[in-house]
Structure 1
């Protein structure tokens, strides 16, 4: 079953510079898509496909989660590194919530795949202007002067850097090379959902909306507390935190809410559609987040920074930092965690 308009967009690390391509996308998954229905675009096709996923029998469990007390806080940029998309600073109210202590791991995602037969975006072939392409995803290449992100055949959650790589011995690492749709599919199966952008910043700040980073205001304190890029980006990683790429979850101390790696390690998908001027248009949110899908290139919010974020480049591990990626893109530095409403 083929649906129209899929985009591959090269996300230059931690900035919203994209290379967009229109393509025809084969969804497949007839075992789940039991109805042969026409849908307007690939976004609607994915959403419908996700709706067929059955929630796991023990979805009521909150094992591995923290019960977070909600509250009111000031959301947005509060330091000299803040970017225009982090303003105006404004008051947000977040309700009580269950939050995954860690990013979803390879082992957890494997359990989901084995239970449902789900095939991730990166594992599906596609076409661009009539030319067929093999499945793959985006892998970081610091030695490519034009594009740091290279579409690599065979790259997916089981092979993050391409077909020659694997996740052997990395069951406790965060799953990566998962698209927003993949994250939404997992959340549906788990009986959870992705956090809103406002919720993510709230639980990353962990009760203190005056701090630049979740550990304080000094970057010098970061290396024992977060997995990020130290050194001359992108070629000389001093590796002071001990991890060249992803770190196992719980490698660094939790924040005051008991949550691990909310800053650094991997970017995390949020529910919200990204708008650069979101904080000036809060009245347009529905149920506390921006859910509309404007066009095939409409990005979704990612939060928290990754092992590729550096002080000389994107500083994505700041509490207020907000970035984005298109929802059908898999990257080797992007994963997710889930939340559950009380």
Structure 2
């Protein structure tokens, strides 16, 4: 087996998890239903939510209050690019909370690392015994020269790509890539201090949250925050796709060959480079994907819609399941990135959601944090 094939096999699960385009392969209804998440028990009576921030409660620095509300989570009817796992829309009631105005930046993450000495997943030695649990049985161990700390980085292709399902055409395992070296081992954070931190695995994001006294948002919280006053719109700003280059950092041109940089950037942009949404949040569309705390389950939206009740502060599926990858245990990420393109995924839409393995780290995946009233009032 040559080295390129060995790398592809090793990161088979990771490459599947970072894809944007929906898999059209069929899975029988009975098979999918049998493996869906366990039913959650929610009260259909109590839909009262905390809307306004209580008097006397101070907004944490760098955050903004997100008013609670009752919304339709999932794709709006006029969204022609909506994927199957974004449907059907279902009603959720979410209490108000505080959310970071921007994605966590390199400078902010450095403060955490300097204070704690934390080492991210991408910087650690690879544990083959743990890795192979996520791969088909019998997958051979690649040579030690490949099994080195690193992360997944993007590479443009030299020509058009007819098959957008083969993610290995534009993703490569780069030894030495991590949050301090976002574009590979020769890169640095000089001049990138105000860009969102990337190459952050789920464990890394959770560790930062614990240090900061925060947590990751639920998918429902994230979507409520993204909607702002556009609860019936495809995008943060409405339904007009022609405004994209003014509103978000995405891939404009032919993916993954040519980026015209009509929005001003080729890769990550400094936070606050584009207008905020109605709640004052920046980069809720594009720039980098953002972790949520929810397990990804491809049957979850169908399940909760069938219950015909309003979910109160839902935390997503109880168990993970991906119909196209039975080995996967994944978390939901939201918001899209600088790699999202209309021909590929258009995940700069409010309802867009994708699945990523918790141990994945990529150059277009970061996070932002939230804090509930209890976390703020109980602090200290």
* Correspondence 1:278 to 2:300: yes
Provide the residue aligned with 2:74 in structure 1.
76
1:7–1:83 CA distance, 2 compared to 1 (3 A): closer
Q: Distance in 2 between matches of 1:180 and 1:101?
A: 20
Query: Which aligned pairs between 1:100-249 and structure 2 lie closer than 5 A?
Result: 100-128=100-128, 129=141, 131-132=143-144, 133-143=147-157, 147=168, 148-249=170-271
What TM-score do you get using the length of structure 1 for normalisation? 0.81
> How far has the Cα of 1:312 moved from its partner?
1.3
- How many equivalent residue pairs? 296
Cα RMSD after superposing both structures:
2.4
2:329 is the counterpart of 1:298: yes
CA distance in 2, matches of 1:332, 1:156: 8
Q: Report how far residue 14 of structure 1 moved.
A: 1.8
User: Between Structure 1 and Structure 2, which shows a larger proportion of strand residues?
Assistant: 1
Could you say if the C-alpha distance between residues 85 and 320 of structure 1 is closer, same or farther in structure 2, counting changes exceeding 3 Å? same
Q: Which has the higher helix share?
A: 2
* Whole-angstrom distance in 2 between the partners of 1:339 and 1:103: 11
1:66 partner SS = strand
2:287–2:338 Cα contact (<8 Å) kept: yes
1:288 aligns to what? Answer: 315
Offset at residue 75 of structure 1 (A): 1.1
- How far apart, in 2, do the equivalents of 1:90 and 1:8 lie? 29
**2:286 paired with 1:264:** yes
Indicate conservation of the 8 Å contact 1:273/1:290, yes or no: yes
Q: Which residue of the other structure, out of 338, 346, 352, is the alignment partner of 1:315?
A: 346
Q: For 2:246, what is the secondary structure of its paired residue?
A: coil
* Unaligned 5+ runs, structure 2: 1-10, 24-57, 129-140, 374-380
Deviation at 1:297, TM superposition (A): 2.5
Q: Give TM-score, length-normalised by structure 2.
A: 0.73
Per-residue deviation at 1:16?
6.7
How much has 1:166 moved relative to structure 2? 1.4
Larger Rg computed on CA atoms = 2
SS of equivalent to 2:245: coil
Distance 1:87 1:287 in 2: 16
Structure of greater relative contact order (alpha carbons < 8 Å, 6+ residues apart): 2
> Please, which runs of 5 or more residues in structure 1 have no aligned partner?
1-5, 18-59
How has the CA–CA distance of structure 1 residues 285 and 271 changed in structure 2, closer, same or farther, with 3 Å as cutoff?
A: farther
Partner Cα distance (2:178, 2:361) in 1: 7
Task: Measure, in 2, the Cα distance between the counterparts of 1:98 and 1:286.
Answer: 14
